[in-house]
Structure 1
Amino acid sequence: MKRHFSYVLAASLSLLASEAPALAQGASAKAGNGGPPNVSILPYPDPVFKGIIGRTTEDSKPDFPQPVKAPEGAPNILVILTDDVGFGASATFGGPVPTPSLEALAAQGLKYNAFNTTALCSPTRAALITGRDQHTVHTGIIMERSLGYPGYDSLMPKSAGTVAEILRGNGYSTAWFGKNHNVPAWQSSADGPFDLWPTGLGFDYFYGFIGGDTDQWDPTVFENTSPVEPKEKLTGAAKANYNLDADLADQAIHWIEQQHALAPNKPFFAYYAPGASHAPHHVPKEWIAKFKGQFDQGWDKLREETFARQKKLGIIPQDAILTPRPANMPAWDSLDAKHKELFSHMAEIYAAFLAYDDYNIGRVIESLKQEGLSDNTLVIFIEGDNGGSAEGTLQGTANEIAVLGNGAKESFDYLYSIKDELGGPLHYNHMPVPWSWAFDTPFQWTKRYASHFGGVRNGMVMSWPGHIKDVGGLREQFHYVTDILPTILEAAKVQAPETINGVKQLPFDGISMAYTWDDAKAASHRVTQLFEMFGNRGIYHDGWMASTTPLVFAWEPEPKGITPESFNWELYDLHKDFSQGADLAKAMPEKLKQMEELWWAEAGRNNALPLVLSPQATLAAVFQKPSLTRGRSHFVYHQGTVRIPEGTAPTVKNTSYTITAKLNVPEQGAEGVVVTQGGRFAGWGLVVLDGKPVWAYKNTQQPNDGIRLNGPNKLTPGDHVVSVEFAYDGKKGEFGKGGVYVLKVDGAEVAKTTISRTVPFIYSVDETLDIGDDRGTPILEDYADRMPFKYNGGIAEVDIDLQGGNAAAAVPDIDGK
């Protein structure tokens, strides 16, 4: 039944009136006065000259403008946000993975067991840094899935200034380290614009990656807005053992030390968001070895063990219910010995990755102590931006992008054969779904499902010595990720501005959590909260939760013709049912109806309409959103043009094309990469090896899953034209079909072959199109030890011609299929 919004709003008013103050939450954002008194404009107005101006300096009095200073005693602030960590993963919240850094913070601060995120990456991060509902700031979905509606277009508005903008305008230094998944896909290249990059959002400094995930061994890293190659200056063991997770900690420590040395009286705000433990699960072997045998009991037993620990630690109530395993997940005992061996090892790798990340976070926290800053630093550690990820399929994967993004197949025998390589640089691995479900203990469902706590409940710790006195305590008030920003402002004694750069600011949806620091029994100040993701909906109100029943898991095919009525609703009394284990929908239909109507009212109020019912519903928008390439069929690039993201590069997929390179071969002979896109896990490249032209195309990293064309003769010194022609077999609208490749030198055919299938949608999340060398991972292992394998001659230009036009195939995302 279709509902008109005005009717829905009216229908829900009685519930709001009787159980107020549900919607009075945004008004409490202003927490104190910072900077000049009673000034709510950022940047602050230019100071009035208070000196004297005479005819000369002899009869004048100077008055030099002074920089804005933070309020007296304002703390340093460190916000830590990890990735894809379920509530029941870390030992701090009863899980099996030791997290001593998180545990140490909890011991000197507070644990929160009712803190909630959005169920997916970009929305959580947008809500965190703006203090507004993710739909209000146009990020109800991840960047790659953006739609042409205000709640989903991925363009965070200027009326939603970030915590960094506010703090920097009030005398703070600001920095962001790690993951940024909040740049619209078409703005992620060197062409910008950069106003939605971290440095355009109030951060003085950014070191990290743009997108849903990155290779931890060979990452795509940006410093501010420029690509950098962190391994370029390393040699020997340092280069061989490089891992981004450790590098991020090094960079954050250096920035903190430098900031403190240069301006010891100036507070800082650091946002530390590592890629762990999102796939790929890349971690040093010695860390994997620490967990050998620790998951041999399987996911069913692990969940029971975690549940018992959570009760013993008091993390969950004694009457909490352990929700059952879904019927479409296999019981551990139903597996044979080889499956158990492989799957338990995949869990060991994930646990090692999370533990390694906790270790590196601990190094950052230790640096605060070394600098004498820890006593005046508020640390907010959110363990996960959503629940555990269900994107690993039922058997795990050695190439998450190919399997989830392109539908590539991996046999169990293949996965078992490369078991000991998983976690290393040769694979892009993820674990089986049931482990993620187990790491979400005691809740139902996983990441992507905003309807249930398995998708949105994350452990959180706050520590601020001397200000949080109930050290080691537990807080059970219901809160949401938007509440972090107002908490920070209250701690810093900084006023929420009414305008930033002349733009009137939206009110905060968040509520300061500082009231919880001194009163464990205080009633929750958050009364109502909307949840929504891909048709899966939830509404919290005054201790009750209504949730739609998800239709499928992430790895399952979606039903066609989904409508709002396709979803059933469940009802939970959270006063008595911590884990959503006892559905009261049939027993209390009137209460459920009120909650459902409240969801529609809150959706209208928070910009969440129209309802996005399915990830597949977003695919048509690929032809509507802005693009640097749509409508173009001819592209010309020059030597040294590198790090062009896939979203802003020509789409040589599902079409015929020709790639032509005009080369100069030096007297000593040619060697190096001419042009490449993607890398080890999927992509293509034109390379010169031992003087001979080579064309390579890879669907995955699996043996023989692609083609290689070798020119028989070395290129002679001088100018040459080397081209690759591809005749696509598929018709318009057919994806991933094969075709015929022809390699030519100076117009003459030198090699030809047929390929049975090609990549239909996406080569990589983080790898790029590069001219003249290869950034990231290699297309061919022949030159893996010589990366970036720069071409040693001249490249006048590389032309890419798309015979079918730039079809801009719909690209599935890798963070919430």
Structure 2
Amino acid sequence: MKTKKIIRFMLVLFGTLFFTSLQAQNTGEKLPYDDPAFKGKIERTYDKSKQAWPELPSLPKGAPNVVVILLDDVGFGMAGTFGGPVPMPYLDKLADKGIKYNRFHTTAICSASRAALLTGRNHHVAGSGFLVEWATGFPSYDMMIPRKTATFAAALKYNGMNTAWFGKNHNTPDWETSAVGPFDRWPTGMGFDYFYGFNNGETDQYHPIIFENTTPVEQPKTPKEGYHFMTDMTDKAISWLQLQKSIAPDKPVFMYFAPGAVHAPHQVFKEWKDKFKGKFDQGWDKQREITFKRQKEMGIIPADAKLPARNPDIQEWDKLNADEKKLYLAMMENYAGYMAFADSETGRLLSAIDKLPDADNTLVFYIVGDNGASAEGGLEGTLNEIKALNGIQSSLKENLKEVDKLGEYGTTPHIPVGWAMAVNTPFQWCKQVASHFGGTRNPLVVSWPKVIKPDGIVRDQFLHIIDIAPTIMEATGTTFPDYVDGVKQVPLEGKSFMSTFTNAKAPELRTQQYFEIFDNKAMYKDGWIAAHQHTKPWRQDVAPGFENEVWQLYNINEDFTEATDLSKKYPEKLAELKKVWEEDAIKYKVFPLDDRGAARLSVPKPSPLGDRKSFTFYEGAIRIPETAAPNTKNKSWNMEAMVNTVDGKKDGVINALGGMDAGYVLYVKDGYPTFVYNYFGTETKITSTQKLPNGEASVKLDFDYPGGGAGKPSKVKISINNKEVGNGDIPATIPGRFGLDTFGIGEDTGSPVTRNYQVPFKFQGKIEEVNINLL
């Protein structure tokens, strides 16, 4: 009898636990949901049984479509919609039927802002303390978004919403972007059904490195035929959206639309940059004043706001010589043209959205920049952005040679710091500098015709990019689960600001927020902000150390632009905020602080190649990222290719790494093996004195590096069947990264390493294998 009671108790307990698990499933405490119970009846034969289809997850009735648009490297004072010098009629149109926000904040850097956006957690918590390419082996800086901070897209997808990502993905570790993955940190592993874009901080817009889901694909036409990636990705986004609504018009969808614009390289067709000819002749100092005045007139900033003093590192415009003005004006005209082009292409997407059957129930977030405008082009700007990122500044003379081609195919320009500061008006500083609003404050426009009725009132609640995720969850009637894919989740750290959609005077939701990038740090609390500016983005070789930090203090309820430092007047308030920053730094995993600049590029990182020194590749090994390819920089190495050719079919690429900015390539032209080393646009060419023989042959390259530091001159020798047939000197070598393009065997995908052939210049013969040895 006792045994029966125990069994009965266990059955009741099991039933309770089972019912509880079903409740957890139905309330969204874990995702994906358990398979639904079968509600039909099963007998011995079908005719006595009753079928019942499983009920698949779906969003609550009336849930909206959601579109998040995120531009790249745009200053607060760039877009005409917010008082800037670049007309953006499509952004204007969206703002006219929606609302504008003037106190929305990012993290001050690309990868970090995007991780915070997608996960709804602070960027350090999401493992994204800085940039993918600058990752270090600490949990907050390894750039490997942990499974415990799943994206809100995953939650939407598991609740039955189709999801797609177009454009820039700067959240997959670049050593994981090869054909061997792993793929769980690619967009398709982070909650997106479809991805069309590039895995990097940037790409050549005329020769992009494109992936469709996890498969590399090549652009459909050439730059001469009018190809530009922004147009391509917009076409794909519109097609995806239209297909979704053609099949299931009532089913809501989520789209993340993230152009590379206007991140460098600033590449745009001539007709776009020509629209701005002469528009900036007043120079960057006067432009700040013009923008500042217009922002006040438009009500974007308070009437009593003060314009902070010009950064003392920036030369006064009137003291520049004629050549400097000529170059810097051309760079700004091109940059503005790129921005206007981005608005035009984004406008095509917005026009397509307006034609949806449920257009009025489409919630659009248009975030105008993932940080402030970039000063990474240096004080003088550059026409080779990869060169600048390697810490090497181009001369004025070098840049002027190409000024008429600036922005067109073959150039990868970046504006000088003076213009970056000007388009961050009315704030101090720029991208990377998380201590001040020039780095962290970006315009935001939100439209949702069914809910938001335009009232012309600029929303001034203090918001952060982590607040987007919970706002979307509330708008779609979903909650973020405790578990995703079996992993206990860190709670969302953002807060929904949906209350501001219908109430311009909704109470403040975010009364406290820390900031940190490169030890540029700030602490906002209850209208006050303490700020420590640590590094200068145009001096990556300078690390000032962590002692004797100088902090400023601003009351931004009274000083919108951080123009008046109150640190000496209110030392107790400054001390209070510094203490709160330290507390938040521990809470949100900020440590260890790291102010190293370009040196972080060369920090050893994981690689699918492991610690091997010898590698064998076969024909068809293409689109391998630099971090997953043999690291031939700053060392001696050799390569031997075993090829098989016949008369008239000997030409083509054997091995290429990099592109038009920097790289190397071993190829055969007119039968002669040739090696070209591209040092930031300066090519050294070494050609064999003998042709390849018919049949099987060995082509060997010996690269002799002297050691003694990075970027040193080297010697190269070419051999055919172990007989030397050519040699030469390389005057200088790449110290850090080759840049935008990838490694490949048998063809040169993307932009060409050299202008001596047309890509992909596929090898005509047979490549049996290519062996590379690091010495």
- 2:756 counterpart letter in structure 1: D
| Pair 649,94 (structure 1): closer, same or farther in 2 beyond 3 Å | same
Distance 1:71 1:221 in 2: 35
2:553 to 553, 560, 571: 571
1:84 to 68, 73, 84: 73
What are the Cα deviations for residues 758-801 of structure 1, in whole angstroms up to 9, with x where unaligned?
1111111x3111100110111221213xx211101100011111
What are the Cα deviations for residues 454-500 of structure 1, in whole angstroms up to 9, with x where unaligned?
00000000000020123443100000000000000111011221111
Q: State the match for 1:587 in structure 2.
A: 569
Paired residues for 1:471-620 under 5 Å: 471-555=455-539, 557-560=541-544, 562-563=545-546, 565-615=547-597, 618=600
In structure 1, the residue corresponding to 2:281 is in which secondary structure? coil
| Pair 335,585 (structure 1): closer, same or farther in 2 beyond 3 Å | same
Q: State the match for 1:695 in structure 2.
A: 675
Matched, 1:793 2:765: yes
1:708 to 675, 685, 688: 685
Q: Report the CA distance between 1:756 and its aligned residue.
A: 2.0
Asked if the contact 1:78–1:270 (Cα under 8 Å) also holds between the matched residues in 2, the reply is yes
Q: Report the CA distance between 1:148 and its aligned residue.
A: 2.5
Asked if the contact 1:666–1:792 (Cα under 8 Å) also holds between the matched residues in 2, the reply is no
Q: State the match for 2:127 in structure 1.
A: 138
Q: State the match for 2:703 in structure 1.
A: 726
- 2:83 counterpart letter in structure 1: G
In structure 1, the residue corresponding to 2:147 is in which secondary structure? coil
Q: State the match for 1:741 in structure 2.
A: 716
In structure 2, the residue corresponding to 1:403 is in which secondary structure? helix
1:210 to 195, 199, 204: 199
Q: Report the CA distance between 1:571 and its aligned residue.
A: 0.6
Distance 2:633 2:480 in 1: 48
Asked if the contact 2:180–2:608 (Cα under 8 Å) also holds between the matched residues in 1, the reply is no
In structure 2, the residue corresponding to 1:566 is in which secondary structure? coil
In structure 2, the residue corresponding to 1:517 is in which secondary structure? helix
- 2:665 counterpart letter in structure 1: G
Asked if the contact 1:135–1:608 (Cα under 8 Å) also holds between the matched residues in 2, the reply is yes
Distance 1:281 1:618 in 2: 25
Distance 2:598 2:383 in 1: 24
Q: Report the CA distance between 1:371 and its aligned residue.
A: 2.7
Q: State the match for 1:679 in structure 2.
A: 659
Q: Report the CA distance between 1:535 and its aligned residue.
A: 1.0
Distance 2:258 2:118 in 1: 12
In structure 1, the residue corresponding to 2:756 is in which secondary structure? helix
Q: Report the CA distance between 1:254 and its aligned residue.
A: 0.5
Distance 2:673 2:506 in 1: 71
Paired residues for 1:247-266 under 5 Å: 247-266=232-251
Distance 2:491 2:61 in 1: 26
Distance 1:95 1:798 in 2: 53
Asked if the contact 2:249–2:357 (Cα under 8 Å) also holds between the matched residues in 1, the reply is no
Q: State the match for 1:815 in structure 2.
A: none
- 2:588 counterpart letter in structure 1: N
Q: Report the CA distance between 1:150 and its aligned residue.
A: 2.0
2:395 to 411, 418, 438: 411
In structure 1, the residue corresponding to 2:458 is in which secondary structure? strand
Instruction: State the TM-score, normalizing by the size of structure 1.
Output: 0.90
Q: CA RMSD in A?
A: 1.6
Q: Report the CA distance between 1:305 and its aligned residue.
A: 0.4
Distance 1:88 1:522 in 2: 26
Q: State the match for 1:17 in structure 2.
A: none
Distance 2:595 2:90 in 1: 39
Q: State the match for 1:463 in structure 2.
A: 447
Paired residues for 1:767-782 under 5 Å: 767-782=741-756
Distance 1:257 1:98 in 2: 28
- 2:397 counterpart letter in structure 1: D
Q: State the match for 1:813 in structure 2.
A: none
Matched, 1:425 2:409: yes
In structure 1, the residue corresponding to 2:731 is in which secondary structure? strand
Ranges in structure 1 where 5+ consecutive residues have no aligned partner: 1-33, 804-817
Q: State the match for 2:36 in structure 1.
A: 47
What are the Cα deviations for residues 240-269 of structure 1, in whole angstroms up to 9, with x where unaligned?
310001111001000001111122221100
Matched, 1:342 2:324: no
2:298 to 300, 313, 317: 313
1:633 to 598, 609, 613: 613
What are the Cα deviations for residues 511-556 of structure 1, in whole angstroms up to 9, with x where unaligned?
0010111221222110100100111110110111110133544336
In structure 1, the residue corresponding to 2:37 is in which secondary structure? coil
What are the Cα deviations for residues 427-460 of structure 1, in whole angstroms up to 9, with x where unaligned?
1110111100000001000000000000000000
Distance 2:244 2:173 in 1: 30
Matched, 1:395 2:361: no
Q: State the match for 1:761 in structure 2.
A: 736
Q: Report the CA distance between 1:743 and its aligned residue.
A: 1.0
Distance 1:572 1:409 in 2: 35
Distance 2:677 2:430 in 1: 35
Aligned length: 753
Q: State the match for 1:103 in structure 2.
A: 92
- 1:346 counterpart letter in structure 2: M
Distance 2:513 2:297 in 1: 30
Matched, 1:294 2:279: yes
In structure 1, the residue corresponding to 2:591 is in which secondary structure? coil
Distance 1:552 1:193 in 2: 35
Q: State the match for 1:6 in structure 2.
A: none
Q: State the match for 1:355 in structure 2.
A: 340
Matched, 1:663 2:643: yes
1:644 to 621, 624, 638: 624
- 2:629 counterpart letter in structure 1: A
Distance 1:426 1:706 in 2: 14
Asked if the contact 2:518–2:534 (Cα under 8 Å) also holds between the matched residues in 1, the reply is no
Distance 1:755 1:36 in 2: 64
Matched, 1:272 2:257: yes
Q: Report the CA distance between 1:719 and its aligned residue.
A: 1.1
Asked if the contact 2:434–2:515 (Cα under 8 Å) also holds between the matched residues in 1, the reply is yes
Bigger Cα displacement from structure 2, 520-529 vs 628-637: 628-637
Asked if the contact 2:535–2:595 (Cα under 8 Å) also holds between the matched residues in 1, the reply is no
Q: Report the CA distance between 1:631 and its aligned residue.
A: 2.2
- 2:723 counterpart letter in structure 1: A
Q: Report the CA distance between 1:659 and its aligned residue.
A: 1.0
Q: State the match for 2:16 in structure 1.
A: none
Asked if the contact 1:387–1:440 (Cα under 8 Å) also holds between the matched residues in 2, the reply is yes
Bigger Cα displacement from structure 2, 278-287 vs 183-192: 183-192
| Pair 139,409 (structure 1): closer, same or farther in 2 beyond 3 Å | closer
Matched, 1:159 2:148: yes
What are the Cα deviations for residues 392-442 of structure 1, in whole angstroms up to 9, with x where unaligned?
11111010111221x334221221121011101111110111100000001
Matched, 1:187 2:166: no
Asked if the contact 2:543–2:595 (Cα under 8 Å) also holds between the matched residues in 1, the reply is no
Q: Report the CA distance between 1:617 and its aligned residue.
A: 7.0
- 1:477 counterpart letter in structure 2: Q
Q: Report the CA distance between 1:738 and its aligned residue.
A: 1.1
Ranges in structure 2 where 5+ consecutive residues have no aligned partner: 1-22
Matched, 1:382 2:367: yes
Distance 2:724 2:626 in 1: 29
Distance 1:713 1:607 in 2: 60
Asked if the contact 1:94–1:306 (Cα under 8 Å) also holds between the matched residues in 2, the reply is yes
Q: Report the CA distance between 1:66 and its aligned residue.
A: 2.9
